[in-house]
Chain A
Amino acid sequence: MFGIESLGPSLQAAVLVGVVLVEAVVLYVGYGGLEAVFGPSLKRVLQGRCALADVVFRRCPTAENGGGNR
């Protein structure tokens, strides 16, 4: 997988750990971004204040005043 089998053992080990490290940082940043974008809407769905369809079609207000302050 990932085509690193041809490398020497030490270099391959370093690349493997590097891949895990990079994936971890990318996931941290990526999921953080997703949480910032979709987190408030998801919370409203879980609270029962909006239906999932309303969120998908952007009919769910994102703040108490209906999103006017954004």
Chain B
Amino acid sequence: MMEIMGVSATLLATFAGFGLLIGILFGFFGMGGSFLVTPALLVMGYEPNVAVGSGLAFVFGTSVIATLKHRDLGQVDYKLGLLMIAGTTAGLEVGKIGLEALQHMGLADSVVSVAYVLLLGGIGAFVTREALKGDGGGLDHDVDDVDADDAEIPEIAQTIQSYRVWPMIRLRGGYTVSLWLILGVAFATGLLSGFLGVGGGFIRMPALFYLIGVPVPIAVGTDLFEIVFSGGIGSLLYAQSGAVDLSIVVPLLAGSALGARLGAAATALVAEEDIKVYFGIMLLLGALAVAVRQIGGLLELPVLNTVSLAIILGAALLVSGAVTYSAVRELRSVPSERAVDVDA
């Protein structure tokens, strides 16, 4: 068997291929790294700390690449990002304390799993419903083409923005929001992240859009900017105990960086409503996978863990395949019109 720097070439190719799949989703939705990588590594037989540590290092690398791209497009609000980091850090600490208290009572696993399913399923159902309504009120992930200044602010965010509590902060896009609102949303999302033990992109990004009214391209860019810090610090902490395995992270990152470019390019081709539906389906299938794993734990049926992973990987394959298919179909449908755009 051929080896590269002491690691099987087959394993490296597998990780690079898996990274490509995740990268397409990450580039398309601006999130979705850790909740795919860590469970897959666990099922492959890696120790839990290595699965989490390597997953964090991978998310760190991917977020660096994605943030660089969004920075080039002017879609990172650094002021908002730094405020969010402050609020999220405080929320994370409180969330961790809550989780530890539940662990002492022996309820952590059940409560966290139920909360995770409800949250993932709830956001998935909400986004899908908004998309199917087709009134433009849902998420718009077209990160390359949307003019942030002209982006539509959701009704909920408009109501929240109308409460003008001093001090008001001026954000990118020209609107002002109360500092306390930003810190409150950051704290709440950090609390959920700490409590659920997840990166929190799937909570924070919709929260920035629906609650603060940040245009989606800037919400995605700013969220990624924040993940650079949280992922970097997290991977440093895990690396100190030897839990970051470069033979996992390096090929995963090589594949995902390419996939992220393909995914980002696809956002400019696929219809917005389709994007929202895919996003909702991803979250709903993620919720289903966690529910199946939890039932497996309750009934002591380890096979359901494998079924859960199969659902996650199947969802990733299905959605990234659908994204790629939709993008290529769009490209082929009107070649002459698109050609002008491409060359411009």
Contacts and interface: CB of A to CB of B under 8 A. Distances in A.
Interface of A: 1-2, 9-10, 12-14, 16-17, 19-21, 23-25, 27-28, 31, 35, 40, 43-44, 46-49, 63-64
A46 B332 contact: yes
Contact of B240 (A13, A24, A43, A49): A13
Contacts of B297: none
Interface of B: 5-7, 57, 60-62, 64-65, 68-69, 232, 235-237, 239-242, 244-247, 249-250, 253-254, 257-258, 261, 328, 331-332, 335, 338-340, 342-343
B339 A35 contact: no
Contacts of B68: 25, 28
B246 A12 contact: no
Contacts of B249: 20
Contacts of A2: 5, 246
B5 A1 contact: yes
A47 B342 CA distance: 11
Nearest to A48: B332
Contacts of A48: 332, 335
Contacts of A23: 61, 250, 253-254
A47 B257 contact: no
A18 B17 CA distance: 24
Contacts of B60: 17, 20-21, 24
Contacts of A28: 64-65, 68-69, 257
12 contacts: A1-B6, A9-B242, A13-B244, A16-B235, A20-B253, A21-B64, A24-B257, A25-B64, A27-B65, A46-B328, A47-B338, A64-B343
A16 B7 CA distance: 17
A18 B223 CA distance: 22
A47 B5 contact: no
Contacts of B247: 1
B118 to A, nearest CB: 33
A21 B148 CA distance: 29
Contacts of B258: 27, 31
A63 B341 CA distance: 11
Contact of B244 (A16, A24, A40, A46): A16
Contacts of A43: 331, 338, 342
Contacts of B242: 9, 12
A31 B240 contact: no
B269 to A, nearest CB: 10
Contacts of A46: 328, 331-332
Contact of A16 (B6, B246, B339, B342): B246
Contact of B7 (A1, A9, A40): A1
B61 A63 contact: no
Nearest to B248: A1
B5 A21 contact: no
A46 to B, nearest CB: 5
A9 B240 contact: yes
Nearest to A49: B335
Given A46-B328, A63-B343, A13 B338 contact: no
B221 to A, nearest CB: 15
